[in-house]
């Protein structure tokens, strides 16, 4: 009986992990019936496992749809695995923020969401700043656009086709076709802009961060009032942003070696 019990527990763990993996695929929200069909498991089994995952914070239920999505514990676990990126990036973000007297941020994809993982701000912030762990809209933020532009073509299309595009300001892109064109341009030029698309009066500039093997693993951005950073002068800040992006990549490569 003891071996049977152990096998049962291992099987339950494997099934719970299989449920979590389902949420990697867009639209990243699924109900019990959908998960049951995807995994060929009974609704009762899926319901028990999902409720356990919810109790532990790995899943949470969306009030409007009653479906489930990735919960806060899953994000915390993902962030814990990011030490090799956060450690070398922290000092460079501090230097960049000090040099330009602007807040700067670092974001990555976690479970097909753009998530803020590191930040540095002036001693006296001149604006409301974002918190680590914040989920960023792909269609409005400069960091979200970078992460969307440099994911695989298949994943990019899935995200654009399944992501809601709410209008946060009058400048927000709400057309999927226009967003596709914007992201194609971002990939070509190597930087992205948030032209007061997320918050009125706030302009953002972001560049990709590479891992040394040709893969983009993060987005590095500057955020400032549009009176200080805007469509007429953002190009002046690109060299500094790209320099610190390269320094992060260099330090990561050194740590791995």
pLDDT tens per residue, range 96-128:
999 999 999 999 987 678 888 888 987 655 555
Position 189 scores a pLDDT of 96
**Which residues of the chain are in CATH 3.30.450.40 domains?**
82-256
**Which residues of the chain are in CATH 1.10.10.10 domains?**
2-76
**Topology of domain 2-76, per CATH?**
Arc Repressor Mutant, subunit A (1.10.10)
Position 141 scores a pLDDT of 96
Report whether 125 contacts 224 (CB < 8 A): no
Position 208 scores a pLDDT of 96
Q: What is the largest CA-CA distance in the chain?
A: 73
Distance of CA 126 to the CA centre of its chain: 25
Report whether 130 contacts 119 (CB < 8 A): yes
pLDDT tens-digit profile of 238-251?
A: 999 999 999 988 87
Rounded Cα gap, residues 59 and 149, in angstroms: 27
Position 1 scores a pLDDT of 41
Confidence grade of residue 255 (pLDDT, cut at 50, 70, 90):
very low
82-256 belongs to CATH 3.30.450.40: yes
Task: Specify the pTM.
Answer: 0.70
CA nearest neighbour of 105 among 154, 78, 158, 141: 141
Q: Cα-flanking dihedrals φ and ψ of residue 158, to 5°?
A: -65, -45
Q: What is the DSSP letter of 199?
A: S
Which residue shows structure tokens 């962030």? Answer: 79
């Amino acid at each position: 009986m003891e071996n049977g019990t152990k096998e049962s527990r291992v099987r339950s763990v494997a099934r719970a992990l299989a449920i979590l993996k389902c949420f990697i695929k867009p639209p990243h929200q699924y109900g019990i019936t959908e998960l049951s069909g995807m995994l060929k498991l009974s609704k009762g089994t899926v319901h028990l496992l999902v409720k356990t995952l919810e109790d532990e914070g790995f899943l949470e239920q969306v009030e409007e749809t009653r479906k489930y999505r990735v919960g806060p514990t899953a994000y915390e676990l993902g962030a814990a695995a990011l030490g090799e990126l956060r450690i070398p990036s922290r000092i460079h973000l501090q230097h960049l923020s000090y040099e330009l007297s602007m807040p700067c941020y670092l974001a990555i994809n976690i479970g097909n969401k753009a998530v803020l993982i590191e930040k540095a701000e002036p001693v006296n912030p001149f604006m409301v700043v974002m918190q680590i762990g914040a989920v960023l809209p792909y269609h409005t933020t400069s960091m979200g656009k970078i992460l969307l532009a440099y994911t695989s073509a298949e994943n990019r299309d899935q995200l654009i086709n399944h992501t809601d595009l709410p209008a946060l300001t009058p400048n927000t892109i709400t057309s999927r076709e226009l967003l596709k064109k914007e992201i194609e341009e971002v990939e070509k030029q190597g930087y992205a802009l948030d032209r007061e698309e997320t918050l009125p009066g706030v302009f953002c500039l972001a560049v990709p961060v590479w891992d040394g093997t040709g893969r983009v693993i993060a987005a590095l951005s500057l955020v400032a009032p549009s009176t200080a950073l805007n469509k007429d002068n953002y190009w002046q800040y690109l060299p500094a942003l790209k320099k610190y992006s390269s320094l992060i990549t260099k330090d990561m490569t050194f740590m791995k070696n």
